Structure formats: C-alpha cells, structure tokens
C-alpha cells in the first residue's frame, strides 16, 4: 500500500513517470472484455441486416464533445477494432461543429465512401445529443440497411437494419461490438 501511495503522490506533483498520454495496452482477454462481450445486445430493425458483415465496411462515428471528466484522447468507438479484424475498413469521425458548418459533409464523408459496401454508424450517448439523433435519422433515411452501434447510454429505440447496444463506451466495448459485427468469437 505504501508504494501505491508514493506513486499517486508523485503523479499529483508531476514527478511521476506518466507521459500524460492515454494508452491502453491491456490484453484483450481481460475481465473487462469478457464483461463487454456479455453486455452487447442486438436488435433487428425493419431492414434485413447481413450479420456477420461480409467485406470491409465504412464506419461513421458521431462523436459528442466530451465533458471534463473524460479525456478526449480516451479510446472509444468501433472503427479501429473493425479495422483490426477487417483491414479494408474505412472510417470517419464527425462532430456537431463540423456538420453544422457543411451541408455536403455527410454525403461526402459518410455516404459516398459507403457506396457498394456496408455502412456502420456508431453513436455515443445519442439520446443526450439532438444533433446526433438528427444526423442518424438522415443517414438511415439514405441507408436503411445501415448497422447502428450505440455506445454509452442507449436510447431504447431499434435503429437501422441491426442495432447493437454496447451499454458502454470503452475500448473493450468497441472490440466486443466489432467482434459481433464480423462474427468473431472471443
């Protein structure tokens, strides 16, 4: 206990060995990943979703502004875990200010790259952000076959052709969702 107290004190004074960068090197066999896999639920919407995904999808992550309690560099989302499982996966992360300043951004960055391939839309705490639910509605109007991954607090509505609810927005939640999307077993 004494050693831990010293490390905490050193961190608080800036004399610790931390880099100030968020890095997550925990093994994917951790208890956190096991819990995240158990937490993911799938709902099927009106469309016919092809799960597992065939080929490499285009992933659109709608990213809210993080509050002060969450470092903006904290890893979350499905794009990188999907890229690890399907190397041809492409992605874009969009924010409210970006979408507010461009009428063509959604078409250019989200829909056009997904032509002829699966579209995966990832939202985080969408029920808390009107812009995000409005953007998701626009995307689903154009692509009702899209797969929706809802991270964080779920909205309760079945969205898209398939709707994965992770009940978390951590790195392992993204890995668990990506595994389910491609049919990998952990």
CATH of 28-182, picked from 3.40.50.720, 3.40.50.10380, 3.30.70.20, 3.40.50.1700, is 3.40.50.1700
Q: Which of 131, 124, 92 is nearest to 111 (CA)?
A: 92
Do you find a cis peptide bond into 11, omega within 30 degrees of 0? Answer: no
Q: What is the model's pTM?
A: 0.80
pLDDT in tens, 84-128: 999 999 999 999 999 998 889 999 999 999 999 999 999 998 888
Q: Which residues contact 176 (CB under 8 A, 6 or more apart)?
A: 33, 36, 37, 39, 40, 166, 186
First and final CA of the chain: distance in angstroms? Answer: 35
Q: Is the pLDDT of residue 68 over 50?
A: yes
DSSP H/E element including 59: strand 58-63
Give me 155's structure tokens: 């909205």
């Amino acid at each position: 206990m004494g050693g831990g107290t010293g490390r905490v004190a050193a961190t608080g004074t800036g004399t610790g060995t931390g880099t100030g960068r968020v890095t997550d090197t925990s093994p994917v066999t951790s208890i956190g990943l096991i819990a995240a896999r158990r937490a993911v639920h799938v709902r099927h919407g009106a469309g016919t979703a092809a799960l597992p995904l065939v080929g490499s999808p285009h992933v659109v992550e709608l990213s809210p502004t993080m509050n002060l309690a969450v470092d903006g560099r904290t890893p979350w989302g499905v794009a990188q875990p999907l890229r690890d499982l399907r190397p041809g996966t492409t992605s874009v992360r969009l924010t409210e200010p970006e979408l507010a300043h461009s009428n063509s951004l959604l078409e250019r960055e989200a829909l056009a790259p997904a032509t002829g391939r699966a579209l995966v839309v990832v939202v985080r705490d969408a029920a808390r952000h009107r812009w995000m639910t409005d953007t998701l509605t626009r995307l689903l109007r154009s692509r009702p076959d899209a797969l929706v991954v809802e991270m964080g607090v779920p909205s309760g509505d079945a969205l898209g052709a398939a709707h994965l609810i992770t009940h978390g927005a951590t790195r392992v939640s993204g890995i668990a969702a990506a595994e389910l999307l491609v049919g990998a077993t952990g």
